[in-house]
Amino acid sequence: MHENNFYTEKLKQKQAILAPMAGYTDAPFRYLANSYGSAWAVTEMVSAKALVNGNLQGIEIAAAYKNEKDLVIQIYGREPELVAEAGQILFEKYQPKALDLNMGCPVKKIISKGMGSSLMQEPELAAKIVNSLVNKVNIPISVKMRLTYKDKAAASIIQGLEDAGASLIAIHARTAEQKYTGKANWQEIVKLSKLVKIPIVGSGDITSQAEFENYSKQGLGIMIARASLGKPWIFASLRGAAEPDKKEIAKICFKHAVLHCAWYQNIGLNEKQSMQKFRSKLLAYLVFLEDKSELRHIDSLDNLRQFINSYFNLEIQESDINTKPMQREL
Ligand SMILES: Cc1cc2nc3c(=O)[nH]c(=O)nc-3n(C[C@H](O)[C@H](O)[C@H](O)COP(=O)(O)O)c2cc1C
């Protein structure tokens, strides 16, 4: 294991972790999750190949705020040298606290190229990738994988990864074949966690404080993905904080929208395009509205502000939200 114990130190605080989500865990959302106490927050997955080939889109996805707190960048790829090189580029550019290898993505486009969850069928190669990252980049390297049909195979995979130098393994408690169907099988995660010395983080279907505490007591770290969408305060709620009321939710939603537009402006999106990209996030925040038809017409921050102020009887101003401390690293 790496001598730098970012992961083990963080896990001692018993806080949930923002799981990587393509299309969602960008810098503004990671910032919000961090502000409600997520132990760390993982970026969307970044293509090692795109990065090494100088494709800027890969960098855009990983792009982080200056001095972003507790940043973990997830990489996908299958060539050990290339992934290690990508890791080095990311490390130099963003100084993440750790790098995470994606071994769980079940999407056809990724697995047909032997990456993501298909690496679980090539455990020796997966271990080689981890080892080459460990040797190249001087920060902890983790892996995020899934369950396999036979827990014996999962057992040997995680032992191989530990031997290769992984500092932590996160496991989505479903098989790749299941994608997102069925229930997450946490019993398997508990069993697997007893087979290695490095920390195991479980992921899948956690929404309540009771579940969080139950698995936390069993020594697992807990990742939250979908339950955080439109609810970044869940990281505080899981530790007993009161849920925000609807007015407060509307304010958090607006703050997210302002951060989002400021962020995407830097990569050339105008406010209208940024607000289009924000639509699914807006719906997630305001899911409780009976009539969501008005949300369809919101295409600027000012529209959103006016809608929120009139619907929730608030007086929010855009200038209430301070985006200055959050500068882009690019
Ligand atoms: C929209 C979306 C995007 C995701 N993207 C990634 C990803 O890029 N990398 C990854 O390892 N897992 C990804 N996941 C899986 C999640 O990190 C998590 O393991 C899974 O959703 C189960 O947790 P949940 O029940 O808390 O959502 C994604 C999940 C969703 C819903």
Name the band, by pLDDT with cuts 50, 70 and 90, for residue 59: confident
C-alpha of residue 21 to centroid of ligand 1, in Å: 5
Reported as a single tens digit per residue, the pLDDT across 203-232 is 999 999 999 999 999 999 999 999 999 999
Looking at residue 66, what is its pLDDT? 84
Which one has a higher pLDDT value, 67 or 258? 258
Contact between 106 and 146 (Cβ < 8 Å): yes
| DSSP secondary structure letter of residue 266 | T
Residues recognised as catalytic = 105
Q: Which atom of ligand 1 is nearest to the CA of 100?
A: 11
User: What integer best gives the mean pLDDT of the chain?
Assistant: 93
CA 20–ligand 1 middle distance (angstroms) = 6
Q: What is the predicted pLDDT for the residue at 151?
A: 65
pLDDT score recorded for residue 60: 80
Other residues' Cβ atoms within 10 Å of the Cβ of residue 191: 13
User: In whole angstroms, what is the distance from residue 275 CA to residue 149 CA?
Assistant: 41
Distance, CA 120 to ligand 1 centroid (Å)?
17
Residue 258, H or E segment: helix 246-265
Q: How far is the CA of 300 from the centre of ligand 1 (A)?
A: 29
Q: Place 1 in a pLDDT band, splitting at 50, 70 and 90.
A: very low
Rounded CA separation 323/330 (Å): 16
Which residue's alpha carbon is at the smallest distance from atom 9 of ligand 1? 20
Q: Where do the domains of the chain lie?
A: 6-237, 246-320
Instruction: State in Å: Cα 314 to ligand 1 middle.
Output: 34
What confidence tens digit (pLDDT) does each residue in 236-274 have?
999 999 999 999 999 999 999 999 999 998 888 999 999
Pocket lined around ligand 1, Cβ cut-off 6 Å: 19-24, 44-45, 74, 102, 104-105, 144, 172, 203-206, 224-227
Statement: the pTM of the whole predicted model exceeds 0.85: yes
Name the residue with the closest Cα to ligand 1, atom 22: 204
Q: Tens of pLDDT along 81-130?
A: 999 999 999 999 999 999 999 999 999 999 999 999 999 999 999 999 99
* DSSP secondary structure, 217-242, as one string: HTT-EEEESGGGTT-TTHHHHTTTPP
117 touches 146 (CB < 8 A): yes
**Phi and psi at residue 269, to the nearest 5°:** -80, 135
Percent over 90 (pLDDT), the chain = 84
Which atom of ligand 1 is nearest the CA belonging to 44? 8
- Say if CB 32 and CB 24 are below 8 A apart: no
CATH top-level class for 6-237?
Answer: alpha beta
**Closest Cα to atom 6 of ligand 1:** 21
> pLDDT tens across 173-212, in order?
999 989 999 999 999 999 999 999 999 999 999 999 999 9
Mutate to test the pocket of ligand 1, among 17, 18, 21, 105 (most ligand atoms within 8 A of CB): 21
Q: Which residue carries 């200038």 as its tokens? A: 319
| Closest Cα to atom 5 of ligand 1 | 21
pLDDT for res 324: 66
Helices (H), 95-150: 108-111, 123-136
Which atom of ligand 1 sits closest to the CA of residue 172?
Answer: 19
